[in-house]
Amino acid sequence: MEITELMIRYGELSTKGKNKKIFIKKLNKNVTKKLKKYDQVKVSYNRDRMHVKLHGENAEPIISELNDIFGIQSFSPIVRVEKSVEEAEKAVIELIRKNYTPGMSFKINTRRSDHSFEYDTNDINRMLGTAVEDAMADIHVQMKNPTVTVRVEVRNRGIFISVDTIQGQGGLPVGSSGKGMLMLSGGIDSPVAGYLSMKRGMEIEAVHFHSPPYTSPQALKKAKDLTAKLSRFAGEIIFIEVPFTEIQEQIKKEVPDEYSMTITRRMMMRLTDEIRRKRNGLAIVNGESLGQVASQTLESMLAINAVTSTPVLRPLISTDKNDIIDIAKQIDTYELAVQPFEDCCTIFAPTRPKTKPKLQKVEDFEKAIDVNGLMDRALEGMKIEKIGIETDENKEREKNFADLL
C-alpha cells in the first residue's frame, strides 16, 4: 500500500464566483512553490480539485507542508493497489482500522472508469463492505451519514482508495487579497496579526523600527526570526527595517513625556503608510488589541490613526491575550516572542503615558519636531530584504550547531 496522490479540496474558494479562477491559480502557484523541493512531485488542478501526484516521494513531509497553505479546506491521501479485489479488500480494512472508533459505521463508494474490470460498482461495494464487516466486529455499513466514507476508484492503472480527510488551514490563498504592511514589533501580537491577515489571502510585508543603540542587534534578529516563522505560510516575506533612533531622540527631547508615546506611534504610522504607498500596498496591519496598553485605547487609536486615511486593520482588536497566546503557540512564534529584548516601544516608554490623548494637543506638541525631515532621513536609511523559512544566518548557525551535536 502506497500513498500515490494527495487530493486537495478548495472549500470556501469554490463559492467565489468569477474570481474563482484567479484564486485557484494563486493557490496552484503557492502549492507548487512550497513543494518545489520535492523533485518528483507534480501538481495539477481543475475547477473542483487540485491533485498532488507524489511519483514515489514520501507523503509525510508533504502532508505537513500542505497543512501550512491557506486556501486548502481539506485533503485526502489516496492509496493505489493492484487491480484485484483481494488487494483492495486488504487496503480498505487497513485504512478503516486506522480510522476506527467504537460503534462506527462506514460506506463504500466505488467508481469505475475501467469498464473492462470483472466486477461492476455494486459488486465492488458489496464485496468490500462485507470484507470490512467480516474483519471487524462492532462496525456496520450505513448509507446515510456514515462515520467514514471509503472512496474507491477502479482505473486502468490500478485501484485508488481514500479514507482520511485531513483538515487544511482553510482561508484564502496568500496573495489573492492584495498586499498590506504589517507593523512588526517583535512581541507576541504582531506575528499573530500577520498570520491572520495572510490567512485571509493578504500578502504581507513586515515593517520593523530599529533604534540602535537603544535597541539591540538581538531585537532586530528576533523580528527577522519571527518573519521567518511567518514565511512558512507565504514562501518568502519582505522585511523592511526602518532606522528610528533620530526620531525617538528628537521626540524625547522636544515633546512632553506623557505625549511622547502617542507622537512616536504617529511617526511609525506615517512611515508605514509612506512605505505602503511606495510599495503599492493597500492596507496597514498591526497587532493592537483594545485596551491592552496605553496606545491601544480608542482615544489613542483615534489620535494615532489621524495621520492617515489608509485602512488600518487590527485583526486582534477584540481578542483576549490568552487567545492570542494560543495562536502564537500554534504558529510557533510564542517562544521567540517572549525573549526579553528591549524593543523601540519599551525603551523610551514614559512612566505615565496618556491613555486618553487629545488630538488637538497632540498636533500642537508635534509642531516641535521636524516631521518631514525626520521621515525623509528614516526612509532613506530603510533596508529591505527577503526572508524565507531559513535565513542565511540561521542556516549557518544550524550548520555549526549540527556539526557540534
Question: Which of 102/340 has CB closer to other proteins?
Answer: 340
Among 108-116, 136-144, 156-164, 210-218, which window interacts with other proteins (CB under 8 A)? 210-218
Q: Is 212 in the site for other proteins (CB under 8 A)?
A: no
Question: Could you say whether residue 401 binds other proteins (CB under 8 A)?
Answer: yes
Q: Which of 68, 100, 341, 359 binds other proteins (CB under 8 A)?
A: 341
From 28, 218, 292, 355, residue interacting with other proteins (rule: CB under 8 A): 218
Q: Provide the residue type at 65 as one letter.
A: E
Using CB under 8 A, which of 39, 40, 138, 405 touches other proteins?
405
Q: Can you say whether the dihedral through the CA atoms of 38, 42, 45, 50 is positive or negative?
A: negative
Q: Give the binding range for other proteins (CB under 8 A) out of 52-60, 213-221, 231-239, 383-391.
A: 213-221
CB 159 within 8 A of CB 152: yes
| Pick 143 or 405: Cβ nearer other proteins | 405
Among 61, 178, 217, 291, binds other proteins (CB under 8 A): 217
Q: Cell triple for residue 250?
A: 528628537
List, in order, residues 6 or more apart from 29 with CB less than 8 Å away: 173, 175
Look up residue 183 and give its three cell numbers: 507593523
Could you give the CA distance from residue 270 to residue 231 in angstroms, rounded to a whole number? Answer: 25
Nearer to other proteins, 137 or 405 (CB): 405
Amino acid at 181: M
Site string for other proteins, 380-399 (x = CB under 8 A): -----------------x--
- Nearest distance in Å: CB 401, other proteins: 5
Binding residues for ATP: 183-184, 208-209, 265, 287, 296
Contact 5, 50 (CB under 8 A): no
Among the listed ranges 44-52, 216-224, 231-239, 382-390, the one in contact with other proteins (CB under 8 A) is 216-224
* Cα–Cα distance, 151 to 142 (Å, whole number): 14
Which residue has 472549500 as its cell numbers? Answer: 11
CA distance 245 to 316: 28
Nearest to 344 by CA among 252, 227, 211, 246: 211
Tell me if 213 contacts other proteins by CB under 8 A.
Answer: no
β-pair partners for 78: 5
In the complex, which residues of this chain contact other proteins (CB under 8 A)? Answer: 216-218, 340-341, 397, 401, 404-405
